[in-house]
Amino acid sequence: MAYSYTGKTALITGASSGIGEEFADQLAKRGMNLILVARSQDKLKAIAERVTDKSGITCKVLCADLTDPDAARGLADRVKSAGMQVDLLINNAGFGTHGPFAKQSPDQERQEVLLNALAPLEAIHAFLPGMRERGHGAVINVASSAGFQPTPFMSVYGATKAFLLHLSEGLWAEFKDDGIQFTCLCPGPVETNFFDASGSPTLKKAVSNTPMMSSQRCVREALKGFEAGKPVVVPGMSIKLMTQSSRFMPRSWLASASAKVLGPRKRK
């Protein structure tokens, strides 16, 4: 799929740091105008100033808490009021919780489901009609390699990413002949503030044996796969092999193996 970025506009949720910020940098270099969405106005403004100074593109900042379904739903109206349109929607906002399920806050896990799963669904519904009317558009959903198998001690996070993965693949098949591309990015561990945001002091240590990827490489491979029209992009050969091999293993074995990796370490 040949994709021309110049002069088009991408809306990126969770754009204030990590993968979202890196998408902003790399798309700005490609000449794409940006709409940056997150809760932190100061961080978004700083990123907007940097990318406009370097690339000369137009960059709009929209503050929103996407755990509120009305906020995700209302993004299209806010974009229209600003006199802009969204050619590429990047649903990146999300967070993960880690630890025994019985000890997790039900309210926090509800927020996790709202942000990781419902907000992307609402945003797609908000912007898809405009894309269909224009006869072109694209969506990149940022999921995780955790969506390919059970993730004990991160069960809610893994479930939200599995939802996003299956949603993306289904919509890719449904709209691939209508000029609208759906791609799901499923990275393994990436060098971002994800681990600190999880509130778990042990999560980063739990995945320490899995190769950590830079956000620059993650986004670079994501855009390469997107441009090739792929429905799913798993950056990094080792993570790709892990996700593919899991398809041939019993689900009970996968769940038990994941529990050993993500669960509390027993003292010897």
- The whole-number pLDDT of residue 267 equals 44
Average pLDDT (220-240) is: 95
Q: Which residues contact 230 (CB under 8 A, 6 or more apart)?
A: 183
For residue 123, is it within any domain?
no
Q: Is 157 a catalytic residue?
A: yes
- pTM higher than the cut 0.85: yes
Residue 268 has pLDDT above 50, yes or no: no
The residue annotated as part of the active site, out of 8, 60, 161, 230, is 161
For residue 113, is it within any domain?
no
Better pLDDT: 249 or 36: 36
The residue annotated as part of the active site, out of 157, 176, 204, 230, is 157
For residue 124, is it within any domain?
no
- The whole-number pLDDT of residue 231 equals 98
For residue 245, is it within any domain?
yes
- 247 pLDDT band, cuts 50/70/90, is confident
Q: Is 96 exposed, middle or buried (0-12, 13-18, 19+ CB in 10 A)?
A: buried
Q: Is 204 a catalytic residue?
A: no
For residue 94, is it within any domain?
yes
For residue 121, is it within any domain?
no
* pLDDT (tens digit per residue) in 108-166: 999 999 999 999 999 999 999 999 999 999 999 999 999 998 889 999 999 999 999 99
Tell me how crowded residue 11 is: count the other CB atoms within 10 A of its CB.
Answer: 26
For residue 210, is it within any domain?
yes
Average pLDDT (89-108) is: 95
Tokens 């044996």 belong to: 209
For residue 79, is it within any domain?
yes
- 203 pLDDT band, cuts 50/70/90, is low
The count of structural domains within the chain is: 1
User: Rounded to whole angstroms, how far apart are CA atoms 91 and 74?
Assistant: 15
Q: What is the CATH number of the domain that holds 34?
A: 3.40.50.720
Tell me the residue range of the domain where 240 lies.
Answer: 9-108+131-262
User: Rounded to whole angstroms, how far apart are CA atoms 55 and 29?
Assistant: 6
Residue pair 212/168 in contact by the 8 Å Cβ criterion: no
Q: Which residues contact 160 (CB under 8 A, 6 or more apart)?
A: 94, 112, 113, 116, 117
**Enclosing H/E stretch for 64:** none
